[in-house]
Amino acid sequence: MNAGLLADFSRITPALNVITDHERLRPFETDAFISHRAVPMCAILPEDETQVAAILASCSARGVPVVTRGAGTGISGGAIPSEDGVLLVLTRMNHIGKVDHQARTATVGPGVRNLAVSDAAAAHNLFYAPDPSSQLICSIGGNVAENSGGVHCLKYGLTTHNVLQVRLVLSGGESMTLGSRALDAAGYDLMAVVTGSEGMLGLVTEVVVKLTPVPEHVETLLAAFPSVTDAANAVGRIIGAGVVPAALEMMDKMVIEACEKFMSAGFPLDAEALLLIELDGVREEVADQLVRVEQVLNDCHAQEIRRAKSDAEREKLWKARKGAFAALATIRPDYYTIDGTIPRRCLPDVLARYTQLAEEYRMLVANVFHAGDGNLHPCIFYDATVPGEMERSEELGGKMLEICVEVGGTITGEHGVGVEKLRQMCVQFREAELATFHAIKAAFDPAGILNPGKGVPSLKRCAEWGGMHVREGKMPRADIPRF
């Protein structure tokens, strides 16, 4: 441990907030992307923005890397520490400030849990819309870093659509306010740049989030289908019918069976795929949408359409959906989840190609995802006790992400790039685009100490990897194979 740095930290924050013992540091060696691990030089738990600024100024002056961590639920490796660096853990900055029901905003610290925001706003009949599956434990700061979504992001948007203002501390210790509590702010939209930047540009110390009125009426449907293709076709046709559901989720037979075994969710076991559809708004609007959606589902050969009869039944359905990833562990204990996004119209074709790839790799793949916005989360099962199996699962996942790019999509919808998708960044972006990303990083973090090696690969690494650029469904040369 750097003695000078430790002396600085002892002046900034109580000794109890600085962890240097190797065994106490072990819990921080990875996030939910468990295939990569590193024990940091030290971890420090600041309690306010003043401490954060002083810590960063000290690290910047000494050229020490800094990685930020929230609840550690990220699954792309964005919070994996540097062995020669400091891990800044923001869980103690968990204050909930003013909930302004007239402005429909809440001011919160980065360590506040996602669900706690809605709990705090419930008394005013308001809620915070982005609801990732990990909302019980994930933090708002992490949500901003990864631009998290959730099952209701189709209608209500991702984190970037629900954050009005952030306080940001730069690597040199300078603080700034980005965005505005008003509807717009002057100048460049730097808050949008910071949202989803994975801790590479600055540390968020306070967030003003937008709150949404609890809808007057809600209807939740379960629709079962005899094939994945029928369910996938229904997704686009629902949107085409002029209905934007609050949520439109899909799961295949493997997920259905896992959820039923794990939670007794009441899912139909004879279905190959099912959709969970939530409609909300004023009662008359929802009634009209319900008629149109049920017509689409019937036209797409739904074998069963079931309406939740009570709030309890609706909550049970969503509890099963959000618990699906835990349920999948009943099939095999080891699986790798990826995150790519495609245009809705491509769902049937892309899911078929995923099945083909899985067969080629002789690996099981389960699908549960945000169908309405085309955000796919294939779960690739492997056996960690077999040498090379984990690496094969990551290779298969990489090819699935490249398909997303090929059809006009992107390599991440809400999980971020981290260390997981650096190779695929070389596929999605050209040299000029990557150079621009690096220029933005240098403008915010001239010392280059914030989350180094994450998010954006160097041009040298792309050249070494031989990254190929796919545009408009075409490879750069006709003689390059599609896979």
pLDDT above 60: residue 382: yes
The pLDDT tens digits of the residues spanning 187-199 come to 899 999 999 999 9
CB 373 within 8 A of CB 401: no
Name, in order, each residue with C-beta under 8 angstroms of 125's C-beta and a sequence gap of 6 or more.
Answer: 213, 214
pLDDT tens profile 214-247: 999 999 999 999 999 999 999 999 999 999 999 9
pLDDT at 185: 83
Cβ contact 419:453 at 8 Å: yes
At residue 470, the pLDDT reads: 40
% of the chain surpassing 70 pLDDT: 96
Quick one: pLDDT at residue 477? 32
Q: Are residues 263 and 203 in the same domain?
A: no
Taking the CA atoms of residue 41, residue 43, residue 49 and residue 50 in that order, the dihedral angle to the nearest 10 degrees is -60
Does any domain span residue 476? no
10 has pLDDT over 60:
yes
Q: 378 and 458 in one domain?
A: yes
Whether residues 321 and 422 share a domain: the answer is no
Residues 207 and 320 in one domain: no
Residue pair 91/73 in contact (Cβ under 8 Å)? The answer is no
pLDDT at 472: 45
Determine phi and psi for 318, rounding to 5 degrees. -75, -30
Q: Give per-residue pLDDT as tens, 123-149.
A: 999 999 999 989 999 999 999 999 999
Tell me the CATH number at 380: 3.30.70.2740
347-371: average pLDDT: 95
Q: What is the pLDDT of residues 46-70, one digit of tens each?
A: 999 999 999 999 999 999 999 999 9
The per-residue pLDDT for 467 is 56
pLDDT for 273 equals: 97
Whether residues 100 and 196 fall in one domain: yes
* Same-domain status, 324 and 336: no
The whole-model pTM stands at 0.91
Cβ contact 344:297 at 8 Å: no
Asked if residue 189 and residue 151 are part of one domain, the reply reads yes
Q: How far apart are CA 264 and CA 261, in angstroms?
A: 6
* pLDDT for position 468: 44
CATH of the domain at 70: 3.30.43.10
The token pair that represents 175 in the structure block: 């603080």
pLDDT score recorded for residue 469: 46
Q: Is the pLDDT of residue 78 over 50?
A: yes
- Domain span holding position 32: 3-89
Helix (H, G, I), strand (E, B) or coil at 141: helix
Q: For residue 475, tell me if it sits in a domain.
A: no
Containing H/E element for 337? strand 335-337
Q: Is 63 exposed, middle or buried (0-12, 13-18, 19+ CB in 10 A)?
A: exposed
Statement: residue 475 has pLDDT above 70: no
For the domain that residue 154 is a member of, what is the CATH number? 3.30.465.10
Q: Which residue has the tokens 């189709």?
A: 154
Please give the full DSSP string across 144-178, using - where no structure is assigned.
HHHT---TTHHHH--GGGSEEEEEEE-TTS-EEEE
Decide: 218 and 278 in contact? Cβ < 8 Å.
yes
Mean pLDDT (the chain) is 92
What's the pLDDT at 7? 87
Q: Which CATH number does the domain housing residue 225 bear?
A: 3.30.70.2190
Question: CA-to-CA distance for 205 and 112, rounded, in angstroms?
Answer: 11
In a domain? residue 481: no
Distance CA 263, CA 110 (A): 32
pLDDT tens digits, one per residue of 244-301: 999 999 999 999 999 999 999 899 999 999 999 999 999 999 999 999 999 999 999 9
Residues 351 and 406 in one domain: yes
Of the three residues 165, 186, 213, the one that is the final residue of a domain is 213
Looking at the structure, do residues 224 and 180 belong to the same domain, yes or no? no
Note whether residue 156 is domain-resident. yes
Rounded-to-integer distance, Cα 353 and Cα 401, Å:
12
Q: What is the spatial distance between Cα 209 and Cα 218, in angstroms, rounded to a whole number?
A: 23
CB atoms within 10 A of CB 264: 10
Q: CA–CA separation, 256 vs 246, rounded Å?
A: 21
In a domain, 297, yes or no: yes
Model pLDDT, residue 478: 37
Q: Which of 310-319, 326-335, 417-426 has the lowest mean pLDDT?
A: 326-335
pLDDT of residue 171: 96
243 and 324 both lie in a single domain: yes
Q: What percent of the chain has pLDDT over 90?
A: 85
Residue 167 lies in a domain: yes
| Residue 470 domain-assigned (yes or no) | no
Instruction: Write down the pLDDT at residue 398.
Output: 96
Single residue among 328, 349, 373 that ends a domain in this structure:
328
Look at phi and psi of residue 173 and say left if phi exceeds 0, alpha if psi is from -120 to 50, else beta: left
Statement to judge: residues 355 and 420 lie in one domain: yes
Write the DSSP symbol of residue 258: H
Please tell me the distance from the alpha carbon of residue 239 to that of residue 293, in angstroms, as a whole number: 9
What's residue 471's pLDDT? 43
Question: Which DSSP string do the residues of 369-420 spell out, in sequence order?
Answer: EBGGGTEE-EEEE--TTSTTHHHHHHHHHHHHHHHHHHTT-BS-SSS--TTT
pLDDT tens for 429-473 read: 999 999 999 999 999 999 999 999 999 998 888 888 865 444 444
- DSSP state, 267? -
Residue 478 within a domain: no
**Is 196 in the same domain as 261?**
no
pLDDT (0 to 100) of residue 1: 65
Residue 474 confidence (pLDDT) above 50: no
The pLDDT assigned to 332 comes to 82
The answer to whether the CB of 80 falls within 8 A of the CB of 33 is: yes
**By C-alpha distance, which of 237, 322, 311 is closest to 280?**
311
Domain end position, chosen among 262, 293, 328: 328
Q: Give the torsion sign (CA, 122, 125, 130, 132).
A: positive
Give the count of domains, the chain: 4
SS3 114: helix
